[in-house]
Chains A and B, each alone.
With several copies, the nearest count.
Chain A
Amino acid sequence: MSKPIKKILIANRGEIAVRIIRACKELGITSVAVFSSADRSACHVAMADEAYFIGEAPSAESYLVQNKIIETAKQCNADAIHPGYGFLAENAGFARLCNNEKIIFIGPKAETIELLGDKIQARKKAIEAGLPVLPGEEIDVSNASEALAKAKSIGFPVLIKAIAGGGGKGMRVADSAENFNESLIRASSEAKSAFGDGRVFIEKFLENPRHIEFQILCDAHGQAVHLGERECSIQRRHQKLIEESPSPVMTPELRKNMGEAALKIARASNYIGAGTVEFMVDSDMSFYFLEVNTRLQVEHPVTEMVTAIDLVKEQIAIAENKTLSFSQDDISCSGHAIECRISAEDPRQGFVPSTGTIQDYRMPSGPGVRLDSGVESGSEISVYYDPLFAKLIVWGKDRSEAISRMKRALEEFRISGLKTTIGFHRIVMENENFVSGNFSTKFIETEYPNYEFETADDKTIETAAIAAAIDRFKNESRINLQNGKSSRASISSWSLYHRQRNMKKFTGSR
């Protein structure tokens, strides 16, 4: 028997909270936002039906405070909590807490999250279920020599990963014995700060792998389907930047094999809900199980665009105990979708975060363009949260049309007030190796070592120079008119020079 959900508390913020609120509105479900002191006038608060303050700006004092969120859900009589991604999305303890309080946690069961969240256990489960895995094992950070010995036995390069990790945090590659120890300490400390768990394990690092993942949906009645793959190889420091579906290298046979593997681990772990099974694919097209993400992914829209299935609505239906309304045979993928993650970062400064207030915000639109955004003109991007604030997704009848459309949409996008990754994505869309589909997870470091690239070509710089000259000419004409002078020629260069020097004193500009 299914039990309809009438009210959902969204334990998240930004674009993913907005995404979930949109689904709630379309389903006639009351949406409840929670917010920190930094988010009082944020988009997700304005859009939700109800909104509750849950604490101060640092997420440890608000979006991560489980008791506060549970208390809010009870206060407003929410039937269910949707955790989005990040924050509490993969926290088994929180899922269990919801369960104890008779609130539906929209995600897999606590035991499943626990099992798959522990990379070592997940790996064991995958081996049991017959999935191929890379050589690897857990290590003790405090025992440096034993750790190094294990790394050597696997053979460098090795990948050091947080056991509790996700989203690229607490992940480092060690090329050789020399930098192994520092990478190990850095990964462990990052893991501790991000997940409260400093345990790490090491794994054979493939030289030029692709990162390909499968979207799965499993209901509580034993039905499980996959929705095809997403190609997520364009990454920077293990964080995905661009995702697409289908993968340019996928074949029907490989899709069948990988999809079946994904469903095997799902079944072995009694998976219920939406999830993602990640694989590494080597250049010879052999694939290895990586991990299962027990949540909605950032990049879920590319799957939605090619399958026409709304994953958030499916998550809610599954949480309502409904059976899936389609079988594997009903799922067909058509066309090609690409997503570019739009972050408040300055790519030319090594992607350092950029904070500030969004001034102009002009969204791209038109045929085949979708923008999932958590901001608008006037929104603040603060230091407290993830710099990802929007995702631009396009659909095309084939990969070539999708790339052309992405270029067009990126050209239309305008954000002023802070630096973003839009310009960088424009460059990647022109990159020959990206366009040909010939790339691996090393794409960014190979193509843009030290992040050296020019967003502006010579013609654009000249155009900018002309614009600046005309703008200044107009301003000077206006000032001269105001001063009752008919021509600016009457101001000598020397007086201009001194005036400028004086101006500088006041404005403090360099």
Chain B
Amino acid sequence: MAHYLVKSNGKEFDIVVKKSGDSFCVVVDGREQTVQFSSSGKSKSVMLVDCCSHEISINSNGYDNSRLVTVGGIEVELEIDNFRLAQLKKAAGNSNSQAASKKIKAPMPGLVLEVKVSSGEKVESGQTILVIEAMKMENAIKSSAAVVVKNVAVSKGQSVEKGDLLIEFE
């Protein structure tokens, strides 16, 4: 038996998994369901939840907690954690997630066409911060909130790879 806490898109699922013959008995937030899980070639599996069929593929890297699960072609990103461990983390006030991402990274490889802000500048939500050209199209990178620019990591004419730091906010 194992007990997990799965988070996705603001939702939490309390999931208990037990082996039950060839199948699994899965209790999701108190509701018990019978699940059959058959792997086929490569990363694909067929999962029957109380006989409802789903084509599944799961991309994970061992014990790392984030997963990209594809259900019938629809991608769902989620975090899975041992339930007790998740409780311990919560108790310990783990605040990793809040600390993160006051940075804008390049969403694609390309060429920086324009940088429209500088350090210390206040930007409004929706304001264009810089313009990147990729695949022959100009892409405006906009701010998603009202913030103050701490550091501009790139300059006009520079080539960037996907994931390169562009701008940091305060």
Q: Which residues of A contact B39 (CB under 8 A)?
A: 41
A507 contacts the other chain (Cβ, under 8 Å)? yes
**Other-chain contact of B8, A45, A455, A461, A474 (Cβ < 8 Å):** A461
Contacts A377-B41, A473-B2, A507-B64; A41 near B46 (Cβ below 8 A): yes
Question: Which A residues lie within 8 Å of B167 (CB)?
Answer: none
Interface assignment of B145: CB less than 8 Å from any CB of chain A: no
Chain B contact residue count (CB 8 A cutoff): 76
Cβ B54 vs Cβ A467 within 8 A: yes
Q: What are the interface flags for A35-53 relative to B under an 8 Å C-beta threshold, 1 for contact and 0 otherwise? A: 0000011100111111111
Q: How far is the CB of A4 from chain B (nearest CB, A)?
A: 22
User: Is A497 positioned at the interface, with any CB of B under 8 Å from its CB?
Assistant: yes
Cross-chain contact A469 with B15 (CB below 8 angstroms): yes
Q: Are A472 and B4 in contact (CB under 8 A)?
A: yes
Cβ-defined contact, B70 with A473, below 8 A: no
Chain B at the A interface: SS class: strand
Q: Which residues of A contact B134 (CB under 8 A)?
A: 352-353, 383
Measured between beta carbons, the chain B residues less than 8 angstroms from A377 are 41-42
Interface residue? A127 (CB, 8 A):
no
Q: B90 an interface residue at 8 Å Cβ cutoff? A: no
Residue in chain A with minimal CB distance to B3:
A469
For A510, the closest partner residue in chain B by CB is B100
User: Would you give the shortest CB distance from A215 to chain B, in whole angstroms?
Assistant: 25
Q: How far is the CB of B145 from chain A (nearest CB, A)?
A: 13
B36 contact from A40, A460, A510, Cβ within 8 A: A40
Q: Are A461 and B76 touching (Cβ within 8 A)?
A: yes
B61 within 8 A of A: yes
Question: B67 an interface residue at 8 Å Cβ cutoff?
Answer: yes
CB pair B63 A499 closer than 8 Å: yes
Chain A proximity mask over B19-59: 1 for CB below 8 Å, otherwise 0: 10000101010000101111111111111110111111111
In the complex, are the beta carbons of A76 and B71 less than 8 A apart? no
Report if B117 contacts A (CB, 8 A): no
A226 within 8 A of B: no
Q: Known contacts A193-B133, A509-B61; is A413 also within 8 Å of B38 by CB?
A: no
Question: Do A460 and B76 touch (CB < 8 A)?
Answer: yes
Can you report 5 A-B residue pairs in the complex whose CB atoms are below 8 A from each other? A49-B53, A193-B133, A466-B49, A470-B17, A472-B2
* For the complex of A and B, 10 pairs with smallest distance between CB atoms: A378-B41, A41-B40, A464-B76, A40-B38, A464-B69, A465-B6, A41-B38, A493-B84, A352-B107, A46-B55
Residues of B within 8 A of A (CB): 1-2, 4, 6, 8-9, 11, 13, 15, 17, 19, 24, 26, 28, 33, 35-49, 51-67, 69-76, 78, 80, 82, 84-85, 88-89, 96, 100, 107-110, 133-139, 162
- List the interface of chain A (C-beta within 8 A of B): 33, 40-42, 45-53, 76, 169, 186, 190, 193-194, 237, 346, 349-350, 352-355, 357-358, 360, 376-379, 383-387, 410-414, 416, 422-423, 426, 454-456, 458, 460-477, 488-489, 493-494, 496-497, 499-500, 503-504, 507, 509-510
